[in-house]
Amino acid sequence: MRIAIPAISWLDSARIYLAVLLPGHLIWEIAQLPLYTLWAGATWTQIAFAVAHCTAGDLLIGMSAIGLAVVFAGDRGWPRQRFARVAVLTVAIGLLYTVYSEWLNVEVRGAWAYAAAMPRLPWLETGLAPLAQWLVIPTLGLWQVARQCRRDHDTR
C-alpha cells in the first residue's frame, strides 16, 4: 500500500528554482568579473557590492521571468502540465531582458563597460557571457524542477 504524497506545487517549484538560481548566479557573477572593466579599476569593496547587487538583480529577473511565464503559458496543473511551454518562455524572457539591460547599461547609461576580453554578439554588441548566463542558469533551475516532478510522479 502506497501513501499518497501530494504532488509538487508551483510554490515548491519556485523554491527549487530559486535554490538553483541563487548560487548559480552568484558563482557566474564572480566568474565573469574579468570580462568587465570594473575588475581592473575597482576596490574589493566596490567589486563585492557589484557582485551582491548584480546577483540580487539576477534573482529578481529570474523569479519575474518564471512568474510571468507561469501566468501566460502555465495552468493550474503547472509544473506537471505545460512545463515545456513555461520553461521556454522563462528562458526567452530572461534572454530578452538581458539583451535590453546590457544595451541600456553599456551603450546608453554607461553604468558598466565590457573589458576587451568580453566576447560579443556582432550585430548587437551584447556580451556573450551574460547571454550564456541567462541560458544556462535558468535552464539548470528548470531542469531541477522537472527532476523533482519526475521523482514526485515515481513515488505516487
Could you list the pLDDT tens digit for every one of the 156 residues in the chain? 444 445 788 899 999 999 999 999 999 999 999 999 998 989 999 999 999 999 999 999 999 999 999 999 999 889 989 999 999 999 999 999 999 999 999 999 999 999 999 999 988 889 999 999 999 999 999 999 999 988 876 665
The verdict on pTM exceeding 0.85 is: yes
For residues 94 and 17, is the Cβ–Cβ distance under 8 A? no
DSSP 8-state code for residue 33:
G
User: What separation, in Å, do the N-terminal and C-terminal C-alpha atoms of the chain show?
Assistant: 11
Amino acid symbol at 106:
V
Cell reading at 52: 551582491
> Do residues 124 and 103 touch, judged by C-beta distance below 8 A?
yes
pLDDT at 3: 46
Is there a contact between 62 and 17 (Cβ–Cβ < 8 Å)? yes
What is the structure's pLDDT at 155?
A: 60
Q: Locate the domains of the chain by residue range.
A: 10-149
Q: What is the pLDDT of residue 4?
A: 47
- Give the 3-state secondary structure of residue 9: coil
Structure confidence by residue, pLDDT tens digits, 81-119:
999 999 999 999 999 999 999 999 999 999 999 999 999
